[in-house]
Amino acid sequence: MKKAIVSIGIYCMAIWGANAQNRIPTLKSSEEKTETIVGLRSLKLDEVNFVTAYYNQTGNHSAVTGGIGTEALWDAANSLDLKLSFLDKQNRSNSVTVDASFDYYSSASSDMIDSRSLSSASMTDLHFYPSVSWSRKDEKKHSTFGIGLAYSTEWDYKSYGGNINYSKTSKDNNTEFNFKAGAFFDTWMAILPYELRPTDYPSGAEGDQSGIAYKQRNSYNVGLGISRVFTKRFQAMFMVEPSYQEGLLSTPFHRVYFTDNTLKVEKLPGQRAKLPMSMRASYFMGDKIIVRAMYRYYMDTWGMTAHTINVETPIKITSFISFTPHYRFNSQTAVKYFAAKNVHKLSETYYTSDFDISDFNSAFWGAGLRIAPPGGILGNKWWNSLEIRYGHYNRTNGMVSHILSLTTKIK
C-alpha cells in the first residue's frame, strides 16, 4: 500500500542523477563488434547498477483509521539493473535494461485494518516489481525508439504495464523532442475494515480469501517534451505529462467518520484526469559547479493543484569526488472530497480523510556524496562509482520521514 511513498522518496534521492544513467550506451571499439549471432552483433554488458535504501516515517493522520492514528512505516528497498547493448545489422546501437526491485516494509497503520488481531496480514509485506526495456538509437536519423514492460505485485494487488518512447534530435544535436506513452492495469483485492465487512466476507489474510471481491484500476499516461541546448553552459527542457485513471481509485480499507460518528469506507470518483507541466534547466558554473532547477505545476479533475520547486547543485570537490546538496518544496491544495474526521456529512456523494490528498506544504532536503576515481573504487577498475544520499521530508500536517540510500555502479 505504501509503495507510492517509498517510490517518491527514492525518486527524490535520485533526481537528475538518473538522467545521466539513462543515456543509451554504445559499443566503442572494433574488438567489441564481434561475430554475428542470429543477425545481431554479440551482446555486451555495459554496466550494473545497484541501489539500496532505508525509509522511515512517522505521523498521526492515518487514513486507515479515519485520518487519525499512527502513520509509522519503515521500508527496506533494493534495486538491481543490468544494462546491455549490441549493434544490429544496420549498425544501430541497441540497449536492453533488465531491472529487479523489491521493498520489504512494515506499516503500523495497515495493521489497523483489523484492530482485533495482534498482527494482521498487512503488517509486513513484500513488494516486488521487475521490468525490462529495449531501445534503439539510429544515428543517421537522429532518433531513438524504445519499449518497456513492467510487473508489480504486493499483498493486496497485482499490476501489469507497458510503455513506448520516441525521441528525435536536430542535426546539430542541440534540440530534442521526446514522446512517451504508457498503460498500467491493476487488480485490487477489496479488503474492508473489520467493522464494515458483510457477514461471512473474508478478511483477505492468507487462507481467508475465498469469496473476496477483486476490483480493477487502469492508468494511462502520455508525455511530450522538448529540450534545447542554448549555450555551452545553459540547457532547458519543457514537459507536459497528462494522465487518466479509471476504476477503483479509492482504498477500500480507508475509514471515514461522519459528523454523527457514522463509519463508512472511503468513496471517491471512478475517474481522475491529471495534468502536470514542468520546466527543467541546468547551468554550468565553470568546471566545478552545476545548478539544476525544476518547476512543476499540477492540476487534476478532483480539484487539487500543486506547485513544486526543486534545486540541486552538484559541487566537484576533487576530480573524482562531488558533493550534492538538494532541496524540494511542494505546496498543494486538497481534493474537493477531503475532510478530517467527523467533518463529512452523510449527504455527500464522495468522501475521504486521506491526508495524502489534503492541503499541505512539504519540504525535502538533504545531500549526496559521490566518489568515482579514475582507477575505480579501491583500485578496482570495474567498480566505477559509489554514492551515498540522505534526505529528510516533512509536511505541515506533521508527517516526517527520512531516507538513506546507497548507489553503486559497475562498468
> What DSSP string runs through 40-51?
EEPPEEEEEEEE
Of 69-78, 164-173, 197-206, 342-351, the poorest mean pLDDT is in 197-206
- CATH of range 3-410; options 3.10.580.20, 3.40.30.10, 2.40.160.40, 3.50.50.60: 2.40.160.40
Rounded Cα–Cα distance for residues 77 and 53 (Å): 5
Q: Which helix (H) or strand (E) holds 150?
A: strand 143-154
Domain ranges of the chain: 3-410
Per-residue pLDDT for 137 more than 90? Answer: yes
> What is the pLDDT, as a whole number, of residue 117?
56
Is the model more confident about 354 or about 210? Answer: 354
- By the 8 A CB rule, do 172 and 159 touch? no
Rounded Cα–Cα distance for residues 89 and 164 (Å): 23
Rounded Cα–Cα distance for residues 152 and 129 (Å): 4
Q: What is the mean pLDDT of residues 125-143?
A: 95
pLDDT tier at 8, thresholds 50, 70, 90 = very low
Number of residues in the chain: 411
Rounded Cα–Cα distance for residues 393 and 402 (Å): 6
- The DSSP 8-state label assigned to residue 260 in this structure reads T
> What is the pLDDT, as a whole number, of residue 224?
98
Per-residue pLDDT for 202 more than 60? Answer: yes
Q: What is the mean pLDDT of residues 353-360?
A: 98
> Where do we find the cell 489497523?
112
Q: What is the mean pLDDT of residues 274-285?
A: 97
> What is the pLDDT, as a whole number, of residue 36?
41
> What is the pLDDT, as a whole number, of residue 6?
44
DSSP three-state, residue 83: strand
Rounded Cα–Cα distance for residues 51 and 48 (Å): 10
